[in-house]
Chains A and B, each alone.
Chain A
Amino acid sequence: MSRARWLAVIASAAILALGVAACGGSSESTSSSGGKTESESGGAPSAEVSGEIAGAGSTAQQAAQEAWIAELENANGGATISYDPVGSGGGREQFISGGVAYGASDTPLSETEGELAKAVKRCGPGELVEVPNYISPIAIIYNVPGVEELNLDSETLAKIFNQEIKEWNDPAIAKDNPGVELPSTRIVPVNRSDKSGTTENFTDYLSKVAPNVWTHEVSGEWPVKGGEAANGTSGVVEAVTAGEGTIGYADASQAGELGVAKIKVGSTWAEPSPEAAAKVLELSKEDPELEGGNKYVTAFEIDRKTESSGTYPIILVSSLIGCTKYKSVEEAALVKAYFEYAVSPEGQELAAEQAGSAPLTEALRKKVMPAVEAIEG
């Protein structure tokens, strides 16, 4: 009797194991034939590469990276790339420690925590490569019944998010929105609860354009207490949608049906668009401090205060981080092929389709290509 009991345990364990094995058995065939060459868009580079590499970093880039990886794997049956969306900080850390072949970060490597120097050291004897590859406009989304259009100048925007303006019919909002009937609803600013590049870019914008109002330190962590907070872009979008009188910031591609406020650029009202976002980066100057004299590092100081028409300065710029030399030529070739594809017009187009990013302009692409070409694959 008691033996029968233990037999039953063993039997059920065996069933479980068999189940696993059965799944495993059936799938080996899938994985070997996994690299189906069904590359219809034909955008991937033609040179055949193979091997396995891993990258890690920005969650903002996740959807785009997944698409690039799928295309590259389609064109190269022997190549496997995995991208771990651990967050920008994690991506930088893993790249520096040599854990991954490439990283992706929403903020460039900087000297403040010695990351730049460490990254250069990691790549020795090769050079460090850092190229912007992903631009995404950040939209100011709001949910106020009856308000279809909304203009907010930088001062007002900063005051709203600083919880100094508390009601929608505040005169500061009304003066820029003639003819719009603003309700007396309480304003509920929604911010990211997780530390993120989106928050860092948005607060950077606020501190540059409204330095008198926004005196907080620029950081990925939201500095103001007492607002509504939500996890991730999808969380912010859901909170703004679910609440009333809410206003938040999120990747423009995720705004969906929500109202998108226009912000003041120079003397015009600008709304987020891929072109306007990419144009800001074109107008921005490279930041010598962030580049640290490395010839293959391209890092911009984003021109938040631009007054040119047709620009939208609340953008997030995310970069790929790699080396010119790797342990094997095969690995280098795969990284190179991947970087090339990511910044190619086809790759950028694919990212725009899948992730809603703003494609790099031709001028920008020319600027970053030498760094990608320098990878010795």
Chain B
Amino acid sequence: MSAPPPDSSGFQPELATAGAPAAGRLLGGGASAGVLPDWAPYGVVAAALAFCAIVLGALGIFTVALMLVFGALLAVAGIYAWSRAVEGARRAKDRAITMAIVVAFGVAMAPLISLLYEVVRRGIPGLSAEFFTEDARGKIGGGGAEHAIVGTLIITAVAVVISVPVGLMAAIYMNEYGTGKLRRALTFFVDVMTGIPSIVAGLFAYALFELFFGPGIRMGVMGSIALSVLMIPIVIRASEEVLKIVPNHLREASYALGTPKWKTITKVVLPTAFAGLVTGVMIATARIIGETAPLLVTTGVVDSLNTNPFSGRMQNLAVYAFNEYRSPGIHKTASYDRAWAAALTLIAIVVILNVIARLVYRRYKTEIR
């Protein structure tokens, strides 16, 4: 990611003075050279919240949610009014929109943080050493989830191994080679593919394996195939987007030096897009690692550990969590605890994968000027 542009609070005074003549036409008549103090945005927010708290309290309808809603609106309006009076219309608009973006960011993050908090809070009681080191074979109403954890890792890994090469090569085809019919067909059909409901992907994988292995077949790799159907279009879409952004002058420079096209792609285009590609693959992996519906009909349910994706049923965390939630039996709390613990574990796995991707991104990010 690019470093954010210079912070406006440090940059603007200069602009207000040095840039004033050049920008005079844009600024119009109402320009004034005043500048709000650095603490202005924070001050406005604090004042707006306090004001709303007092008014709501006086009306006897105080809740934190209402205070935040009205406070945010008031703060945006407040900073606009103040800045307009001191700094002029353009700066006021900038400040108001900046604050609106921050507020929108807060609105967007609130549910996500609430969700993380709930999963951690409800997931911890179900965690234990046993949860990670034992399967559920022969254990009435309990046992661990090792079989599900291992199953999730294997099924996802196989799906990634299938999807990434195919998806990446297809994206390269579409962006670097594709002309005419095949390319248009591919663009069109990748769009179609993103619309496959996850359960249909599962049913398709089942039907495919049923052809070769007869009815009732259940294998880990079936789940991987179903997940690949979902994952490939995401990999293509994300990769295509990143490859498109690689500036043409890089390619042209390479061609000018006589480099063959395939080497241009592998040595220039892909390295430039590398960080974005990794992010794309991570999004795709993350998107499928918690899929439930397609695995319900392909990998089967079993309480023992199985490490061979090509033989026998294989449990996974998402299905495990779903089953524990759906059919808790009499001992509801214990079952729900396990469901949430499985959810937490799933998120933890994703965090680890994300950390790896992030490190790769940091190490190899490329800035395009």
Contact = CB atoms under 8 A, between A and B. Distances in A.
Interface stretch (B37-45, B53-61, B134-142): B134-142
A362 B153 CA distance: 47
A260 to B, nearest CB: 16
Given A5-B274, A85-B323, 9 more contacts: A8-B360, A34-B304, A34-B305, A62-B323, A63-B329, A73-B138, A100-B216, A253-B330, A354-B329
A30 to B, nearest CB: 6
Nearest to A232: B326
Contacts of B216: 54, 94, 97-100
Task: Name the residue among B137, B266, B303, B360 with the largest chain A CB count within 10 angstroms.
Answer: B137
Nearest to A256: B332
A17 B307 contact: no
Interface string A222-240: 0000000000111000000
A371 to B, nearest CB: 23
A329 interface: no
Contacts of A169: none
B135 to A, nearest CB: 6
A377 B307 CA distance: 30
B154 A20 contact: yes
Contacts of B353: 16
A59 B157 CA distance: 30
Interface stretch (B6-14, B237-245, B294-302): B294-302
Interface string B259-301: 0000000110011001000100000000000000000110011
Contacts of B364: 5, 8
B258 interface: no
Name, among B133, B307, B313, the residue most crowded by chain A CB atoms within 10 Å (CB to CB): B307
Contacts, number: 151
Interface in B335-358: 353, 356-357
A19 B353 CA distance: 12
Contacts of B135: 27, 30-31, 34
A280 to B, nearest CB: 22
B329 A356 contact: yes
Interface of A: 1-2, 5, 8-9, 12, 15-17, 19-20, 23-24, 26-28, 30-31, 34-36, 38, 52, 54, 59, 62-64, 66-67, 69-71, 73-74, 80, 82-86, 94, 97-100, 232-234, 253-254, 256, 350, 353-356
Nearest to A61: B327
Interface of B: 133-141, 146-147, 149-150, 153-154, 157, 214-218, 266-267, 270-271, 274, 278, 296-297, 300-307, 312-313, 323, 325-332, 353, 356-357, 360, 363-364
A198 to B, nearest CB: 12
A354 B328 CA distance: 9
A36 B154 contact: no
16 contacts: A2-B266, A8-B363, A12-B356, A17-B157, A24-B150, A24-B154, A28-B305, A52-B312, A54-B218, A66-B140, A66-B141, A70-B137, A71-B138, A84-B218, A234-B325, A354-B329
Contact of B326 (A20, A59, A83): A59
Nearest to B134: A30
Contacts of A35: 137-138
Contacts of B139: 70
Contact of A83 (B136, B217, B301): B301
A41 to B, nearest CB: 9
By Cβ-Cβ distance, the 4 closest A-B pairs, closest first, are: A99-B216, A63-B329, A97-B215, A62-B327
Given A24-B150, A354-B331, A82 B138 contact: no
Contacts of A59: 326-327
B302 A82 contact: yes
The CB with the most chain A CB atoms within 10 A, among B136, B305, B357, is that of B305
A98 B305 CA distance: 25
B196 to A, nearest CB: 21
B326 to A, nearest CB: 5
B330 A354 contact: yes
B138 A2 contact: no
Contacts of B297: 86
Contacts of A80: 137, 302, 304
B258 to A, nearest CB: 18
Given A71-B140, A98-B214, A355 B329 contact: yes
A63 B327 contact: yes
B217 to A, nearest CB: 7
Contact of A31 (B137, B153, B329, B360): B137
B218 to A, nearest CB: 7
Contacts of B140: 66-67, 70-71, 350, 354
Given A85-B301, A94-B216, A98-B215, A23 B327 contact: no
A135 B217 CA distance: 30
Nearest to A84: B301
Contact of A70 (B133, B138, B150, B307): B138
